[in-house]
Amino acid sequence: MKTNRLITSIILSLFLVGAVSVSAATGRRMTLILPLNLDVDDPAVIEMAKFAIAEHNKRSNGKNLKLAYILSCMGFAYAIYSLELLANDGAITNKYLAQLLQTTPMYELQSFELAPFLS
């Protein structure tokens, strides 16, 4: 886990240095929007996770996943959300990644896929 954070920090640092270099070279101001780490206990995040699972269940005939736990939720510009969650089908619990786009007043599920468990 610490290795992943270190790699993420290095990549972010390189991106910021590149953004400043491009901004300085072009003479234009650059707005950098970083993702926001949202509280997994926030009712809005819980609603998004439940929506993602319900929509996935509708699209995959026969699946009946239930939310077990929300690991993380990141909010990006233009109302895009990325969720890491645990869901089970009654027997097995798996980790999933869901991408949502917020549309007024609901959400649109962009993707929902099985994710590997990494320690």
Cβ–Cβ < 8 Å for 111, 118? no
Contacts by 102-108, CB closer than 8 A, 24 or more apart: 103/79, 106/51, 107/48, 107/51, 107/52, 107/81
Pick the CATH number of 33-115 from 3.90.1150.10, 3.30.1490.20, 3.10.450.10, 3.30.800.10: 3.10.450.10
Q: What is the pLDDT of residues 84-105, one digit of tens each?
A: 999 999 889 999 999 999 988 8
Across the chain, what does the average pLDDT equal? 80
Domain boundaries, the chain: 1-32, 33-115
Mean pLDDT lowest among 3-7, 34-38, 46-50, 85-89: 3-7
Bridge-based pairing state of the strands 93-102 and 36-38: unpaired
Residue 17: band (very low, low, confident or very high) from pLDDT cuts 50, 70, 90: very low
- As a whole-number percent, the residues of the chain with pLDDT over 90 amount to 54
